[in-house]
Structure 1
């Protein structure tokens, strides 16, 4: 998927997520997401802040408080932003949906799987159906498979061959694991329990 198409997908998925969030109850905003230790509102805030990267001083302060742990820094910054009213978070998602600003540590190729997976982090535990665009999901799967940190998909899924059943995509070697590309994206990004009902094979 080329750069322009990738940005179109990112914009569309931010807006789709905003629409989903806009109809949630107060209790749903506080409920757990698929990410351990993250509420729905924390995930929403994380996605909303991607096109609003903080300055270097803020990042350094967060790194000190997080003792150098990227995961802790990411979580703490999301929780801090999530203190805003839900309506403000939704408005930010919409306002910055087409923005191409990103934190210095990432790029648009990483944001495609990020926004796809995080949208499912919100939708799945709430029992909402949020279809993942198939072509975008394939691009996300390919990116996660090749990028290493933070998912280490090739290491975690060593000994299996992943094959999508709804689009031409296959990687790995070993025991066959098959399913829709959206489910494979969940598996590749470590959301194994959410993926398992939709895939066949030893995972």
Structure 2
């Protein structure tokens, strides 16, 4: 594969919200058909069940009061605090209500205080796959939207980048299904959805990657954490 310059993916606000709406609608349809056992299955998020992830997606429009209530239950890090909030929500809300609340966000352009529509896009794209992939369900991710989301993931400085985001530094990531690339170093290429998932720490997408740097990237991402 030749490494040619590629234009950054661009979507205007209307296009971003259209993708968010479509992803929410399709995810609600998928969730409606799950059995009780499937709701209890582990997701791609370590320590999160499918139900936890779905409950988290009902918490994407938090205002100041909601945020203060969440932070009042601080668990030592933002990730642990968010996970605990999702677990409480999952335990408190009936399955049908979780699905109905996700579906009710279709058409809304509200987002949690302190984030932008791009973080909302990242959340719905990645968390939908967190649910679908371990269940063996198909949930398509638009490549252009995935490219916009990945660009945002790799450029964010607050909150601090996740370990997986830091790990991809030093590699040239190139999509095979949309004009997108990022970084410098050994070439790693694959579907845009897989690249986004890898950038956000989802190791399940690693087998979809290829190129001279793929083995080294896989080793870096899957190496045991140092204590």
Normalization by structure 1: what TM-score? 0.92
Cα deviations by residue, 1:124-145 (Å, 9 ceiling, x for unpaired)? 0001111111111111111111
State yes or no: 1:198 paired with 2:226. Answer: no
Shift of 1:40: 0.3
| 2:121 equivalent in structure 1 | 112
Superposition map of 1:1-203 within 5 A: 1-51=11-61, 53-56=62-65, 58-83=66-91, 84-148=93-157, 149-151=160-162, 155-191=166-202, 193-200=203-210, 201=214, 202-203=216-217
Partner Cα separation in structure 2 for residue 90 and residue 137 of structure 1 = 24
- Structure 2, unpaired ranges of 5+: 1-10, 218-227
The CA RMSD over aligned residues, in Å, is 1.6
Assess if the C-alpha contact under 8 Å between 1:18 and 1:90 holds in 2: yes
- Asked if 2 retains the 8 angstrom alpha-carbon contact of 1:144 and 1:151, the reply is no
Deviates more, 1:176-185 or 1:154-163: 154-163
Residue aligned with 1:112, SS:
helix
3-state SS of 1:48 partner: coil
Structure 1: state its 5+ residue gaps: none
- Higher mean alpha-carbon deviation, 18-27 vs 106-115, is at 106-115
The alpha carbon displacement at 1:68 in A equals 4.6
Contact 1:63/1:69 (8 A) holds in 2: no
Going from structure 1 to structure 2, the CA distance change for 1:189 and 1:100 (only over 3 Å counts) comes to same
Give 1 or 2 for the bigger CA radius of gyration.
2
